[in-house]
C-alpha cells in the first residue's frame, strides 16, 4: 500500500514537472510561437533527425529523439502498475493524454503539434509498460 501511494505521488509530481516543461520550460513563451506550428506527416521529423544527424548538435538530437521516448516511459510503467489494466487500455489512455497535450501546445502557441512526438512518446510509454510487465512476471 505504501509503495502504491509513493508511485501515485511520484507520478503526480512527475506530471506537474512535465506540464511545466511542455508549456513553459526550455524558453517556451507565447511570444516564441507567433504562428501555429505543426507536422502531420509521420516520420518526417524523425527522418530529418536521422538523415541530417550532422546538422544538429548532439544535445538537440538527444533531447528530441531520446528525450521524447524516455520522458513518457514512467507513464507506461506507472499507469500499468497503478491500474493493472491490459496493455492496450494503458496505451490508449496515454495516447489520449498525449493527443490532448499536443493539441494544447498548438492552440496555446507554447509549442507545436508533431505527430512524430506522439510516435516517440508512445514508444516510450510502450517501453515503460513492457518493463513493468517484464519485472512482474
Give the pTM.
0.90
Give the pLDDT confidence score for residue 27 in this predicted structure: 75
**Can you tell me the distance from the alpha carbon of 8 to that of 18, in angstroms, rounded to the nearest whole number?**
15
Mean pLDDT for the stretch of residues 81-110: 94
- pLDDT tens, residue by residue, 22-76: 888 877 776 666 788 899 999 999 999 999 888 888 898 888 999 999 999 999 9
**Can you tell me the distance from the alpha carbon of 11 to that of 78, in angstroms, rounded to the nearest whole number?**
7
Identify whether the C-beta of residue 8 lies closer than 8 Å to the C-beta of residue 83: no
Amino acid at each position: 500500500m505504501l509503495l502504491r501511494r509513493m508511485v501515485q505521488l511520484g507520478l503526480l509530481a512527475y506530471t506537474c514537472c512535465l506540464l511545466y516543461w511542455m508549456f513553459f520550460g526550455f524558453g517556451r513563451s507565447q511570444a516564441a510561437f507567433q504562428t501555429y506550428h505543426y507536422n502531420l506527416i509521420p516520420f518526417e521529423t524523425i527522418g530529418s533527425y536521422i538523415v541530417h544527424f550532422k546538422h544538429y548538435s548532439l544535445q538537440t538530437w538527444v533531447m528530441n529523439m531520446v528525450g521524447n521516448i524516455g520522458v513518457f516511459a514512467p507513464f507506461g510503467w506507472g499507469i500499468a502498475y497503478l491500474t493493472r489494466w491490459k496493455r492496450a487500455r494503458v496505451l490508449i489512455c496515454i495516447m489520449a493524454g498525449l493527443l490532448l497535450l499536443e493539441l494544447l501546445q498548438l492552440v496555446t502557441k507554447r509549442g507545436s503539434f508533431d505527430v512524430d512526438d506522439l510516435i516517440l512518446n508512445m514508444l516510450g510509454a510502450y517501453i515503460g509498460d513492457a518493463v513493468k510487465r517484464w519485472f512482474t512476471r
